[in-house]
A and B are shown apart, each in its own frame.
Chain A
Amino acid sequence: MSAVEKVNVRIRVNGEAREALVEPRTLLVDFLRENLNLTGTHIGCDTTYCGACTVLLNGRTVKSCTLFAPMADGGEITTVEGLSTDGALHPVQNAFAECHGLQCGYCTPGLLLSTVYLLKKNAKPSDKQIRKAIAGNTCRCTGYQNIIKAIRMAAGEMGKR
Protein backbone atom coordinates (compact mmCIF):
# COMPACT_ATOMS: atom_id res chain seq x y z
CA MET A 1 0.00 0.00 0.00
CA SER A 2 1.11 3.55 -0.64
CA ALA A 3 2.53 5.48 2.27
CA VAL A 4 -0.15 7.07 4.41
CA GLU A 5 -0.20 10.71 5.29
CA LYS A 6 1.39 11.51 8.63
CA VAL A 7 -0.60 13.32 11.26
CA ASN A 8 0.57 16.13 13.49
CA VAL A 9 -0.20 15.31 17.12
CA ARG A 10 -0.08 18.12 19.69
CA ILE A 11 -0.51 17.30 23.34
CA ARG A 12 0.42 18.81 26.68
CA VAL A 13 2.51 16.34 28.60
CA ASN A 14 3.16 17.05 32.27
CA GLY A 15 2.29 20.67 31.63
CA GLU A 16 4.54 21.13 28.61
CA ALA A 17 3.29 21.57 25.02
CA ARG A 18 4.75 18.86 22.76
CA GLU A 19 4.11 17.87 19.18
CA ALA A 20 5.33 15.48 16.54
CA LEU A 21 4.42 14.36 13.04
CA VAL A 22 3.68 10.64 13.19
CA GLU A 23 2.12 7.78 11.30
CA PRO A 24 -1.55 7.45 12.36
CA ARG A 25 -0.94 3.93 13.66
CA THR A 26 1.50 5.23 16.27
CA LEU A 27 0.24 4.14 19.65
CA LEU A 28 0.12 6.76 22.37
CA VAL A 29 2.66 4.77 24.41
CA ASP A 30 5.12 4.72 21.51
CA PHE A 31 4.49 8.41 20.89
CA LEU A 32 5.45 9.13 24.51
CA ARG A 33 8.44 6.80 24.56
CA GLU A 34 9.87 7.13 21.06
CA ASN A 35 8.86 10.60 19.92
CA LEU A 36 8.96 12.45 23.24
CA ASN A 37 11.63 10.30 24.95
CA LEU A 38 9.45 9.83 28.02
CA THR A 39 10.37 6.25 28.79
CA GLY A 40 8.84 6.14 32.27
CA THR A 41 5.63 4.78 30.73
CA HIS A 42 6.22 1.08 30.15
CA ILE A 43 4.98 -1.42 27.60
CA GLY A 44 4.11 -4.66 29.34
CA CYS A 45 1.67 -6.99 27.61
CA ASP A 46 0.82 -4.68 24.70
CA THR A 47 -2.65 -6.27 24.66
CA THR A 48 -4.79 -4.00 26.89
CA TYR A 49 -4.33 -6.28 29.87
CA CYS A 50 -1.51 -5.39 32.23
CA GLY A 51 -1.79 -1.62 32.70
CA ALA A 52 1.99 -0.91 32.74
CA CYS A 53 1.29 1.74 30.07
CA THR A 54 -1.35 3.58 32.13
CA VAL A 55 -1.26 7.38 31.84
CA LEU A 56 -3.74 10.13 32.65
CA LEU A 57 -5.45 11.57 29.58
CA ASN A 58 -7.55 14.63 30.40
CA GLY A 59 -7.55 13.54 34.03
CA ARG A 60 -8.61 9.92 33.43
CA THR A 61 -6.50 6.79 33.36
CA VAL A 62 -6.19 5.08 29.99
CA LYS A 63 -4.03 2.28 28.64
CA SER A 64 -1.72 4.13 26.28
CA CYS A 65 -1.05 0.93 24.30
CA THR A 66 -4.70 0.98 23.30
CA LEU A 67 -5.01 4.45 21.86
CA PHE A 68 -3.69 5.74 18.57
CA ALA A 69 -1.75 8.95 19.24
CA PRO A 70 -3.97 11.13 16.96
CA MET A 71 -6.95 10.22 19.18
CA ALA A 72 -5.23 12.05 22.06
CA ASP A 73 -4.59 15.18 19.98
CA GLY A 74 -5.25 18.37 21.94
CA GLY A 75 -5.28 16.41 25.18
CA GLU A 76 -3.58 16.87 28.51
CA ILE A 77 -1.40 13.95 29.59
CA THR A 78 0.27 13.08 32.86
CA THR A 79 2.94 10.40 32.89
CA VAL A 80 4.97 9.11 35.82
CA GLU A 81 7.60 11.77 35.01
CA GLY A 82 5.02 14.41 35.91
CA LEU A 83 4.26 13.20 39.43
CA SER A 84 7.20 14.64 41.38
CA THR A 85 7.61 18.38 41.85
CA ASP A 86 11.07 20.01 42.05
CA GLY A 87 12.69 16.70 42.83
CA ALA A 88 10.29 15.90 45.67
CA LEU A 89 8.40 12.65 45.24
CA HIS A 90 4.62 12.66 45.05
CA PRO A 91 3.02 11.28 48.26
CA VAL A 92 1.90 8.22 46.29
CA GLN A 93 5.48 7.58 45.17
CA ASN A 94 6.70 8.02 48.74
CA ALA A 95 4.15 5.55 50.04
CA PHE A 96 5.14 2.91 47.45
CA ALA A 97 8.78 3.33 48.50
CA GLU A 98 7.97 3.24 52.22
CA CYS A 99 5.75 0.15 52.00
CA HIS A 100 7.91 -1.78 49.51
CA GLY A 101 5.02 -1.53 47.08
CA LEU A 102 7.30 -2.68 44.29
CA GLN A 103 9.90 -5.32 43.57
CA CYS A 104 11.12 -5.10 39.97
CA GLY A 105 9.27 -1.84 39.41
CA TYR A 106 8.07 -2.57 35.91
CA CYS A 107 4.37 -2.20 36.72
CA THR A 108 4.97 0.72 39.09
CA PRO A 109 4.45 3.72 36.77
CA GLY A 110 1.02 2.39 35.83
CA LEU A 111 0.10 1.58 39.41
CA LEU A 112 1.17 5.04 40.57
CA LEU A 113 -1.11 6.71 38.05
CA SER A 114 -4.01 4.39 38.84
CA THR A 115 -3.52 5.29 42.50
CA VAL A 116 -3.36 9.03 41.84
CA TYR A 117 -6.60 8.70 39.83
CA LEU A 118 -8.30 6.67 42.56
CA LEU A 119 -7.38 9.10 45.33
CA LYS A 120 -8.51 12.08 43.28
CA LYS A 121 -11.99 10.54 43.02
CA ASN A 122 -12.11 8.89 46.42
CA ALA A 123 -9.88 10.25 49.17
CA LYS A 124 -10.70 7.45 51.62
CA PRO A 125 -11.08 4.23 49.67
CA SER A 126 -11.95 0.95 51.38
CA ASP A 127 -9.73 -2.08 50.69
CA LYS A 128 -12.39 -3.39 48.33
CA GLN A 129 -12.42 -0.11 46.42
CA ILE A 130 -8.61 -0.15 46.26
CA ARG A 131 -8.65 -3.66 44.81
CA LYS A 132 -11.21 -2.70 42.20
CA ALA A 133 -9.28 0.47 41.32
CA ILE A 134 -6.08 -1.45 40.54
CA ALA A 135 -7.76 -4.46 38.90
CA GLY A 136 -6.44 -3.21 35.55
CA ASN A 137 -2.83 -3.22 36.73
CA THR A 138 -0.92 -6.47 36.82
CA CYS A 139 2.12 -7.01 39.04
CA ARG A 140 4.03 -10.19 38.24
CA CYS A 141 6.25 -10.03 41.32
CA THR A 142 2.98 -10.69 43.20
CA GLY A 143 3.53 -7.74 45.43
CA TYR A 144 -0.12 -6.81 45.74
CA GLN A 145 -0.31 -6.87 49.53
CA ASN A 146 2.33 -4.18 49.85
CA ILE A 147 0.83 -2.23 46.97
CA ILE A 148 -2.49 -2.11 48.81
CA LYS A 149 -0.66 -1.08 51.99
CA ALA A 150 1.05 1.70 50.04
CA ILE A 151 -2.23 2.98 48.64
CA ARG A 152 -3.74 3.00 52.13
CA MET A 153 -0.73 4.94 53.40
CA ALA A 154 -0.87 7.41 50.50
CA ALA A 155 -4.55 8.03 51.19
CA GLY A 156 -3.73 8.71 54.84
CA GLU A 157 -0.83 11.05 54.06
CA MET A 158 -2.75 12.98 51.41
CA GLY A 159 -5.72 13.28 53.79
CA LYS A 160 -3.48 15.08 56.29
CA ARG A 161 -2.51 17.83 53.87
Chain B
Amino acid sequence: MYAHPFAYHRAQSLGEATKLLHQLGEESRVIAGGQSLIPLMKMRLARPTALIDINFIPRLSEIKNHNGELRFGALARHADIEVSEHVAEIPILHDCASGIADVQVRNQGTIGGSLAEADPSGDWATTLLTLETSVVCAGPEGERTVPLDEFFKDAYTTVLGREELVREVIVKKPAKNSGGAYLAFKRSASVYATGSAAVQITLDAKDACKEARIVLGCVGLTAIRAKEAEAELHGKKIDERAIARAADAAREAAEPQSDMRGSADYKRALITALVKRAIGIAVRRARGENVEAGHEYVGR
Protein backbone atom coordinates (compact mmCIF):
# COMPACT_ATOMS: atom_id res chain seq x y z
CA MET B 1 0.00 0.00 0.00
CA TYR B 2 1.25 3.44 -0.83
CA ALA B 3 0.70 6.58 1.18
CA HIS B 4 -0.58 9.73 -0.48
CA PRO B 5 2.45 11.48 -2.02
CA PHE B 6 4.36 13.78 0.29
CA ALA B 7 7.50 15.88 0.22
CA TYR B 8 10.29 14.61 2.45
CA HIS B 9 12.32 16.96 4.63
CA ARG B 10 15.07 15.91 6.97
CA ALA B 11 15.64 18.10 10.02
CA GLN B 12 19.15 18.19 11.47
CA SER B 13 18.08 20.02 14.63
CA LEU B 14 14.92 20.73 16.61
CA GLY B 15 15.19 24.37 15.59
CA GLU B 16 15.18 23.32 11.95
CA ALA B 17 12.18 21.04 12.58
CA THR B 18 10.05 23.84 14.07
CA LYS B 19 11.13 26.17 11.27
CA LEU B 20 10.06 23.59 8.70
CA LEU B 21 6.72 23.11 10.46
CA HIS B 22 6.21 26.87 10.13
CA GLN B 23 7.27 27.04 6.48
CA LEU B 24 5.40 23.95 5.31
CA GLY B 25 2.19 24.83 7.11
CA GLU B 26 -0.98 22.99 8.10
CA GLU B 27 -0.50 19.80 6.09
CA SER B 28 3.01 18.99 7.31
CA ARG B 29 3.75 16.50 10.05
CA VAL B 30 6.72 15.37 12.08
CA ILE B 31 7.72 11.73 11.79
CA ALA B 32 9.65 9.95 14.54
CA GLY B 33 9.55 6.12 14.67
CA GLY B 34 6.56 6.11 12.34
CA GLN B 35 4.96 3.01 13.82
CA SER B 36 1.58 4.77 14.18
CA LEU B 37 1.86 7.41 11.49
CA ILE B 38 3.01 5.19 8.63
CA PRO B 39 0.14 2.68 8.99
CA LEU B 40 -2.31 5.62 9.15
CA MET B 41 -0.77 7.10 6.01
CA LYS B 42 -0.84 3.78 4.17
CA MET B 43 -4.55 3.43 4.95
CA ARG B 44 -4.95 7.06 3.83
CA LEU B 45 -6.42 7.98 7.21
CA ALA B 46 -3.65 10.57 7.37
CA ARG B 47 -2.55 12.45 4.25
CA PRO B 48 0.17 14.92 5.15
CA THR B 49 1.65 16.64 2.10
CA ALA B 50 5.03 17.01 3.80
CA LEU B 51 6.90 14.94 6.37
CA ILE B 52 9.65 16.28 8.58
CA ASP B 53 11.93 13.42 9.58
CA ILE B 54 13.49 14.02 13.01
CA ASN B 55 15.28 10.65 13.17
CA PHE B 56 18.57 12.19 12.06
CA ILE B 57 18.71 14.81 14.83
CA PRO B 58 21.70 13.92 17.01
CA ARG B 59 21.39 13.06 20.73
CA LEU B 60 17.59 13.03 20.69
CA SER B 61 17.39 9.41 21.85
CA GLU B 62 19.46 9.67 25.02
CA ILE B 63 18.23 8.36 28.37
CA LYS B 64 19.73 10.31 31.27
CA ASN B 65 19.62 9.73 35.00
CA HIS B 66 20.21 12.98 36.81
CA ASN B 67 19.13 14.68 40.01
CA GLY B 68 16.42 12.22 40.91
CA GLU B 69 14.94 12.32 37.42
CA LEU B 70 15.02 10.16 34.35
CA ARG B 71 15.10 12.14 31.14
CA PHE B 72 14.08 10.42 27.93
CA GLY B 73 14.92 12.07 24.63
CA ALA B 74 11.88 12.11 22.35
CA LEU B 75 13.49 9.50 20.09
CA ALA B 76 14.28 7.00 22.86
CA ARG B 77 12.97 3.75 21.35
CA HIS B 78 10.85 1.39 23.42
CA ALA B 79 13.61 -1.24 23.00
CA ASP B 80 16.24 1.17 24.40
CA ILE B 81 14.02 1.92 27.38
CA GLU B 82 13.41 -1.81 27.94
CA VAL B 83 17.13 -2.48 28.48
CA SER B 84 18.14 0.80 30.12
CA GLU B 85 19.84 0.26 33.48
CA HIS B 86 18.25 3.48 34.74
CA VAL B 87 14.78 2.18 33.95
CA ALA B 88 15.42 -1.04 35.88
CA GLU B 89 14.97 1.02 39.07
CA ILE B 90 11.36 1.81 38.14
CA PRO B 91 9.69 -1.51 37.27
CA ILE B 92 6.49 0.01 35.89
CA LEU B 93 8.51 1.63 33.09
CA HIS B 94 10.08 -1.70 32.23
CA ASP B 95 6.66 -3.40 32.24
CA CYS B 96 5.46 -0.90 29.69
CA ALA B 97 8.52 -0.73 27.43
CA SER B 98 9.10 -4.47 27.25
CA GLY B 99 5.69 -5.38 25.89
CA ILE B 100 4.59 -2.64 23.50
CA ALA B 101 3.53 -4.38 20.28
CA ASP B 102 6.37 -6.70 19.20
CA VAL B 103 10.17 -6.70 18.98
CA GLN B 104 10.30 -5.01 15.57
CA VAL B 105 7.93 -2.21 16.55
CA ARG B 106 9.76 -1.67 19.85
CA ASN B 107 13.02 -1.29 17.93
CA GLN B 108 11.56 1.59 15.97
CA GLY B 109 8.74 3.23 17.98
CA THR B 110 9.58 6.13 20.31
CA ILE B 111 8.34 7.42 23.67
CA GLY B 112 7.95 10.95 22.31
CA GLY B 113 5.96 9.73 19.34
CA SER B 114 3.69 7.63 21.53
CA LEU B 115 2.79 10.62 23.73
CA ALA B 116 2.41 13.06 20.84
CA GLU B 117 0.15 10.61 18.97
CA ALA B 118 -2.13 10.38 22.05
CA ASP B 119 -3.82 7.19 20.91
CA PRO B 120 -6.42 6.23 23.55
CA SER B 121 -4.90 2.73 23.53
CA GLY B 122 -1.28 3.91 23.73
CA ASP B 123 0.75 2.36 26.55
CA TRP B 124 3.03 5.21 27.63
CA ALA B 125 0.37 7.74 28.62
CA THR B 126 -1.33 5.29 30.97
CA THR B 127 1.96 4.25 32.54
CA LEU B 128 3.54 7.68 32.88
CA LEU B 129 0.44 9.30 34.40
CA THR B 130 1.05 7.25 37.54
CA LEU B 131 4.42 9.03 37.99
CA GLU B 132 5.41 12.70 38.23
CA THR B 133 5.98 13.16 34.50
CA SER B 134 6.39 16.26 32.40
CA VAL B 135 6.91 16.86 28.71
CA VAL B 136 9.39 19.37 27.34
CA CYS B 137 7.92 20.85 24.18
CA ALA B 138 10.12 22.75 21.72
CA GLY B 139 8.58 25.45 19.54
CA PRO B 140 9.47 28.55 17.57
CA GLU B 141 9.36 30.69 20.72
CA GLY B 142 11.55 28.35 22.73
CA GLU B 143 10.63 25.62 25.15
CA ARG B 144 7.91 25.00 27.70
CA THR B 145 7.49 22.17 30.16
CA VAL B 146 3.99 20.74 30.48
CA PRO B 147 2.95 18.37 33.28
CA LEU B 148 1.72 15.15 31.65
CA ASP B 149 -1.72 15.41 33.28
CA GLU B 150 -2.22 18.67 31.33
CA PHE B 151 -0.71 17.35 28.10
CA PHE B 152 -3.64 15.32 26.69
CA LYS B 153 -6.79 17.13 25.57
CA ASP B 154 -8.72 14.41 23.80
CA ALA B 155 -8.23 11.29 21.72
CA TYR B 156 -5.31 11.93 19.34
CA THR B 157 -5.11 15.52 20.62
CA THR B 158 -2.51 17.14 22.86
CA VAL B 159 -1.68 20.70 23.86
CA LEU B 160 1.18 20.72 21.33
CA GLY B 161 0.88 23.73 19.05
CA ARG B 162 1.09 23.44 15.25
CA GLU B 163 4.79 24.29 15.29
CA GLU B 164 5.74 22.46 18.47
CA LEU B 165 7.18 19.02 19.06
CA VAL B 166 8.19 16.88 22.02
CA ARG B 167 11.88 17.18 22.88
CA GLU B 168 12.11 15.28 26.14
CA VAL B 169 10.05 13.36 28.70
CA ILE B 170 11.03 13.88 32.34
CA VAL B 171 10.06 11.33 34.97
CA LYS B 172 10.69 12.02 38.64
CA LYS B 173 11.92 8.92 40.44
CA PRO B 174 9.41 7.58 42.94
CA ALA B 175 10.02 7.84 46.69
CA LYS B 176 11.45 4.95 48.72
CA ASN B 177 9.08 2.06 49.45
CA SER B 178 7.33 2.63 46.15
CA GLY B 179 6.33 0.07 43.60
CA GLY B 180 4.25 0.04 40.48
CA ALA B 181 2.93 -2.27 37.80
CA TYR B 182 1.56 -1.88 34.30
CA LEU B 183 -0.64 -4.66 32.99
CA ALA B 184 -2.01 -4.61 29.46
CA PHE B 185 -4.16 -7.34 28.00
CA LYS B 186 -4.11 -7.81 24.25
CA ARG B 187 -5.38 -10.40 21.80
CA SER B 188 -1.97 -10.92 20.23
CA ALA B 189 1.45 -9.33 20.48
CA SER B 190 1.30 -6.90 17.60
CA VAL B 191 -2.01 -5.20 18.42
CA TYR B 192 -3.14 -2.46 20.77
CA ALA B 193 -4.35 -3.63 24.16
CA THR B 194 -8.03 -4.29 24.90
CA GLY B 195 -7.59 -2.80 28.35
CA SER B 196 -4.72 -1.75 30.55
CA ALA B 197 -4.11 -0.65 34.12
CA ALA B 198 -1.18 1.17 35.68
CA VAL B 199 -0.79 1.35 39.44
CA GLN B 200 1.92 3.09 41.43
CA ILE B 201 1.95 2.86 45.22
CA THR B 202 4.08 4.24 48.06
CA LEU B 203 3.91 2.51 51.42
CA ASP B 204 4.58 4.17 54.78
CA ALA B 205 6.67 2.75 57.63
CA LYS B 206 3.67 0.75 58.88
CA ASP B 207 3.06 -0.87 55.46
CA ALA B 208 -0.07 1.23 54.89
CA CYS B 209 -0.70 3.09 51.65
CA LYS B 210 0.85 6.55 51.73
CA GLU B 211 0.16 7.35 48.09
CA ALA B 212 -1.54 5.60 45.21
CA ARG B 213 -2.11 6.39 41.57
CA ILE B 214 -4.33 4.27 39.39
CA VAL B 215 -4.67 4.96 35.67
CA LEU B 216 -6.75 3.06 33.13
CA GLY B 217 -5.96 2.72 29.43
CA CYS B 218 -8.06 1.86 26.32
CA VAL B 219 -11.33 2.59 28.15
CA GLY B 220 -11.84 6.29 27.38
CA LEU B 221 -10.87 9.02 24.94
CA THR B 222 -7.69 9.50 26.95
CA ALA B 223 -6.11 7.50 29.75
CA ILE B 224 -8.33 7.86 32.84
CA ARG B 225 -7.02 8.55 36.31
CA ALA B 226 -9.31 6.67 38.73
CA LYS B 227 -9.16 8.96 41.75
CA GLU B 228 -12.03 7.23 43.58
CA ALA B 229 -10.11 3.99 43.29
CA GLU B 230 -7.00 5.67 44.68
CA ALA B 231 -9.05 7.01 47.62
CA GLU B 232 -10.02 3.44 48.52
CA LEU B 233 -6.34 2.72 49.23
CA HIS B 234 -5.14 6.00 50.74
CA GLY B 235 -4.05 5.69 54.36
CA LYS B 236 -5.22 2.09 54.55
CA LYS B 237 -3.62 -1.30 54.88
CA ILE B 238 -3.80 -2.73 51.39
CA ASP B 239 -5.60 -6.02 52.04
CA GLU B 240 -7.91 -8.04 49.82
CA ARG B 241 -10.96 -5.99 50.78
CA ALA B 242 -9.30 -2.66 50.05
CA ILE B 243 -8.06 -4.02 46.72
CA ALA B 244 -11.55 -5.25 45.80
CA ARG B 245 -13.09 -1.87 46.65
CA ALA B 246 -10.45 -0.03 44.61
CA ALA B 247 -10.99 -2.34 41.65
CA ASP B 248 -14.77 -1.76 41.83
CA ALA B 249 -14.21 1.99 41.88
CA ALA B 250 -11.90 1.67 38.87
CA ARG B 251 -14.63 -0.26 37.06
CA GLU B 252 -16.97 2.69 37.64
CA ALA B 253 -14.38 5.15 36.36
CA ALA B 254 -13.91 3.29 33.08
CA GLU B 255 -15.82 4.56 30.04
CA PRO B 256 -15.32 1.75 27.54
CA GLN B 257 -16.84 1.52 24.08
CA SER B 258 -17.90 -1.76 22.53
CA ASP B 259 -15.75 -2.50 19.51
CA MET B 260 -13.97 -5.35 17.71
CA ARG B 261 -11.74 -5.87 20.76
CA GLY B 262 -14.66 -6.56 23.08
CA SER B 263 -17.97 -5.34 24.47
CA ALA B 264 -18.11 -2.51 27.00
CA ASP B 265 -19.17 -5.00 29.70
CA TYR B 266 -16.28 -7.29 28.88
CA LYS B 267 -13.83 -4.39 29.09
CA ARG B 268 -15.22 -3.29 32.47
CA ALA B 269 -14.72 -6.80 33.80
CA LEU B 270 -11.23 -6.87 32.31
CA ILE B 271 -10.29 -3.52 33.88
CA THR B 272 -11.52 -4.71 37.29
CA ALA B 273 -9.31 -7.79 37.09
CA LEU B 274 -6.28 -5.90 35.77
CA VAL B 275 -6.51 -3.25 38.51
CA LYS B 276 -6.80 -5.93 41.18
CA ARG B 277 -3.71 -7.73 39.94
CA ALA B 278 -1.73 -4.55 39.31
CA ILE B 279 -2.33 -3.34 42.88
CA GLY B 280 -1.17 -6.70 44.21
CA ILE B 281 2.03 -6.61 42.18
CA ALA B 282 2.67 -2.93 42.97
CA VAL B 283 2.44 -3.60 46.71
CA ARG B 284 4.77 -6.59 46.52
CA ARG B 285 7.28 -4.54 44.56
CA ALA B 286 6.95 -1.64 47.03
CA ARG B 287 7.95 -4.14 49.72
CA GLY B 288 11.05 -4.99 47.71
CA GLU B 289 9.93 -8.18 46.00
CA ASN B 290 10.98 -8.99 42.46
CA VAL B 291 7.83 -9.69 40.44
CA GLU B 292 7.59 -10.18 36.71
CA ALA B 293 4.70 -8.37 35.00
CA GLY B 294 3.72 -6.56 31.85
CA HIS B 295 1.73 -7.15 28.70
CA GLU B 296 -0.18 -10.38 28.33
CA TYR B 297 -1.69 -12.11 25.38
CA VAL B 298 -2.88 -15.54 24.43
CA GLY B 299 0.02 -17.88 23.75
CA ARG B 300 2.59 -15.87 25.64
Residues of A that sit less than 8 Å from B by CB? 1, 3-5, 7, 23-25, 27, 46-51, 54, 60-63, 66-68, 70-71, 114, 117, 128, 131-133, 135-138
Contact = CB atoms under 8 A, between A and B. Distances in A.
Question: Nearest 8 pairs between A and B by C-beta?
Answer: A136-B102, A135-B189, A24-B8, A60-B107, A25-B3, A63-B104, A136-B104, A61-B104
A68 B299 CA distance: 32
B8 A7 contact: yes
A66 B108 contact: yes
Given A48-B35, A66-B38, A5 B55 contact: no
Interface in B166-204: 188-191
B215 to A, nearest CB: 25
A135 B108 contact: no
Given A47-B39, A67-B108, A135-B102, A25 B189 contact: no
27 contacts: A23-B5, A24-B7, A25-B3, A25-B6, A47-B39, A47-B42, A48-B105, A54-B104, A60-B79, A60-B108, A66-B34, A66-B39, A67-B34, A68-B8, A68-B31, A70-B10, A71-B31, A71-B34, A71-B53, A114-B103, A128-B300, A131-B300, A132-B300, A135-B188, A135-B189, A135-B297, A138-B190
A32 to B, nearest CB: 15
Interface residues of B, number: 36
A27 B107 CA distance: 17
A136 B189 contact: yes
Nearest to A56: B107
B1 interface: yes
Interface centre among B103, B107, B108, by most A CB within 10 Å? B103
B51 interface: yes
Interface string B94-112: 0000000111110110000
Interface of B: 1-8, 10, 31, 34-35, 38-39, 41-43, 49, 51, 53, 55, 79, 101-105, 107-108, 188-191, 297, 299-300
A133 B103 contact: yes
A46 B103 contact: no
Contacts of A137: 102
B193 to A, nearest CB: 14
B8 A135 contact: no
Nearest to A64: B104
B299 A131 contact: yes
B190 A135 contact: yes
A70 to B, nearest CB: 5
Contacts of A60: 79, 107-108
Given A66-B108, A135-B189, A136-B189, A61 B103 contact: yes
B73 to A, nearest CB: 17
A27 B1 CA distance: 9
Residue from B8, B51, B104 having most chain A Cβ neighbours under 10 A: B104
A7 B53 CA distance: 13
Given A1-B49, A5-B7, A132-B189, 10 more contacts: A1-B5, A46-B1, A47-B42, A49-B191, A66-B39, A67-B34, A70-B8, A135-B102, A135-B190, A136-B105
Contacts of A49: 190-191
A67 B299 CA distance: 28
Contact of A25 (B2, B105, B191): B2
Nearest to B43: A47
A4 B191 CA distance: 33
A135 B5 contact: no
B108 A68 contact: no
Contacts of A46: 1, 42
B252 to A, nearest CB: 33
A46 B42 CA distance: 9
Nearest to B50: A4
A137 B104 CA distance: 9
A4 B300 contact: no
Nearest to A24: B8
